[in-house]
Amino acid sequence: MTKALFIIDVQNDFCEGGSLAVTGGAAVATGITELLRSKPSIYDFVIASRDWHDAGNDNGGHFAAVGESPDYVHTWPVHCVSGTSGAEYHPNLDSTLVDFHIIKGMGKPSYSIFEGQTPDGVNLKALLGYLNVTDIDVVGLATDYCVLASSLDAKNAGFNVTVIKDLVAGVAGESSEKALVTLATAGCKIG
């Protein structure tokens, strides 16, 4: 067994004070750091994603048009523009504990980490194959969007997947609960 931890989108814009803040985001960042420091050997690899959008365009309709309100389902406020502080990891997450950095969403909506790549262009699935990963724990933001999409893609790609429910936070309570039910139904463990 080779076990990886996916840390999904623990970025300033998704935490309190950010442009698309998820309540509990900063606490999730703290909890992930505590987990990795207290049990440094439980993961063979730690892989973290960041939403990494273009400046100066709507990223394939992902950002609400100027003057229009986002619907918080398909369109969103401007967030996680590459090179801005909003796109950086939240400071409560100790990013020195991350082995591989994945970026996604360059010019388009990308909810799943599987749509991402390393900064030098290796796609995630190839990386996981190279590392012989078999088991994946998932933590991060947001439960009802990127955690959901990333976990389902991991399960569908044949990995054993556990979502650590104390280390995720969602945009809305109802859709987050529904996401965990969907993930359990798909065969993910909810730990």
Taking residues 101 to 140 in sequence order and writing x for each that binds Zn ion by CB under 5 A, - otherwise, the string is: ----x-----------------------------------
CB 53 within 8 A of CB 81: yes
**Active site (catalytic) residues:** 9, 104, 146
Q: Which residue in the set 7, 15, 35, 51 belongs to the binding site for Zn ion (CB under 5 A)?
A: 51
Cβ closer to Zn ion: 31 or 116? 116
CB of 145 to Zn ion, least distance (A): 9
Fill in the DSSP letter of residue 86.
Answer: G
3-state class (DSSP) for residue 19: coil
Tokens 């623990």 map to which residue?
10
Of all helices (H) and strands (E), which one includes residue 101?
strand 100-104
Q: Which two tokens stand for residue 189?
A: 């463990």
Least distance to Zn ion, CB of residue 99, Å: 23
Residue (36 or 51) nearer to Zn ion, CB: 51
Q: Which residue is nearest to Zn ion (CB)?
A: 51
Environment class of residue 118 by beta-carbon count within 10 Å: exposed (0-12), middle (13-18) or buried (19+)? middle
Q: Which is nearer to Zn ion, 31 or 86 (CB)?
A: 86
Q: Which residues of the shown chain bind Zn ion in the complex (CB under 5 A)?
A: 51, 105
